[in-house]
Amino acid sequence: MNRKTLIATAVTAALAVPAYTQANDLNFDFYGSARIAVENVRPDNQDENDGGLDSYSGFRDAYSRIGFNADYPLAEGLTLIGQLELPIDIANKAVQDPWDQEQDVRVAQIGVQGDMGTLLYGQMWMPYYNAISFPVDMFSSYYSGFATFTTFREKDSISYYSPDMNGLSFAFAWSEENGLNGDDRVQLTGSYAFGDTIVSVGMDDFRGDDNTTLAGISIAHTMGDLYLGAKYERFYSDADSGYGEDGDTAMNVYAGYTMGQNTFKVMVAEVKEFGETVVHLGYDYQFNNDLKFFAEYYREQTTAAITDKREGRGVFPAEAKGGQVFTAGMRYDF
């Protein structure tokens, strides 16, 4: 489905809401989020003759999006659900993800939800990210979420989330040709919630020529206004170099403290082959329910998130060798 078809589908659905809701109990919830920031990027290696990248200042989208959720009751305890969400790159005035600029859809999924859990098909957030990476992915800028080995969303996927069973839950996903070397990808997670703490374990099987599997564990704990999160990931594979090398690890520790409308954030991570030592500091000011202002400092030892001005994945010089970013912006939800 191309970009124009997706937009036309969303517009048609919007116009059809009143009639459908009245006749068939089909409910739509439309939403959007505009997120834009100004940034100053200072790579460690600024020698273009050595493959470096110049310092620059400019605007950067922070994952703006627009979409809708829909639900329709099929029977008692069973509901048909769907979601379509498009990325809006405000800085580049385009329908695209600011990081993966070839992606013009964030979420496009349909499924059923009931007493036995939730079954989904399409392009979706993956269970491993939700259980293992999300507990430390709490920042507001473009630079949030890079300190992990897994992917956020994948197309051509089927996932199942179990209901809560006295604090215990699990999830499974199969993703066609989204592993390594064109193989299918399989994920499995389990979580246990007790009091204000959630502990999760997960497996992300990339398969491929090197039989690559990522295993992870995370913990999230809330103490009043203080939130603490941590995760540990490790690759098991036949590879002895590059991405997915056997024994490579990613470790993150995050803390966030909310005081009234103010939230202070700090994360320290060590991600082999992708950023190495990462320090991320942030401040959010929640002006009202819809509007938030943020300011952040991001520092990576080797190149992971830092890229050229308003560009994304795959365009940064391999020898940029990390650097630091100062960024400040706003988020408006509607």
* Rounded-to-integer distance, Cα 64 and Cα 150, Å: 21
> Which amino acid type is present at position 330?
M
More confident: 48 or 181: 181
Specify the pLDDT at position 86: 98
Q: Are 161 and 118 in contact (CB under 8 A)?
A: yes
Reported as a single tens digit per residue, the pLDDT across 85-107 is 999 999 999 999 999 999 999 99
| Residue 325 pLDDT | 97
Is residue 250 within 8 A of residue 214, CB to CB? The reply is no
- Write down the residue that tokens 């859809």 correspond to: 105
Res 24: pLDDT: 62
Q: Domains of the chain by range and CATH?
A: 3-333 (2.40.160.10)
DSSP character at residue 162: P
Question: Residue 179: pLDDT above 80?
Answer: yes
Q: What percent of the chain has pLDDT over 70?
A: 91
Average pLDDT, the chain: 92
| Overall average pLDDT of the 14-37 stretch | 72
Cα distance between residue 302 and residue 241, in whole Å: 16
Assign 3-class secondary structure to 238-253: CCCCCCCCCCCEEEEE
On the question of pLDDT at 225 being above 70, the answer is yes
pLDDT over 60 at 4, yes or no: no
Residues 65, 53: Cα–Cα separation, whole Å: 29
| Model confidence pTM above 0.75 | yes
The amino acid present at 320, given as its one-letter code, is A
% of the chain exceeding 90 in pLDDT: 84
- For the stretch 297-318, pLDDT in tens is 999 999 899 998 999 886 666 6
Residue matched to tokens 């940029």: 320
- The whole-number pLDDT of residue 312 equals 87
Which H/E stretch holds residue 192?
Answer: strand 185-194
Write out the two tokens for 329.
């912006």
Q: Where are the alpha helices (DSSP H) in the chain?
A: 3-24, 127-128
Rg, the chain, Cα only: 20
Q: Quick one: pLDDT at residue 316? A: 65
How many CA atoms within 13 Å lie on the side-chain side of 54?
4
pLDDT band at 49 (very low <50, low <70, confident <90, very high): confident
**CB neighbourhood size of 48 (10 A):** 11
Tell me the CA distances in angstroms from 285 to 144, 304, 333, one per residue in order. Answer: 17, 27, 14
Q: How far apart are CA 47 and CA 257, in angstroms?
A: 39
Residues near 13 by Cβ (< 8 Å), separated by ≥ 6?
28, 68, 70, 84
Range 148-166 average pLDDT: 97
d(CA 206, CA 314): 20
Q: What is the mean pLDDT of residues 104-114?
A: 98
Question: Token pair 């920031």 is at which residue?
Answer: 37
- Quote the pLDDT of residue 11: 36
Contacts of 56 (CB under 8 A, 6+ apart): 40, 41, 308, 309
> Which tens digit of pLDDT belongs to each residue from 191-221?
999 999 999 999 999 999 999 999 999 999 9
Question: Which of 212, 34, 58, 204 has its CA nearest to residue 131?
Answer: 204
pLDDT of residue 314: 66
pLDDT at 13: 42
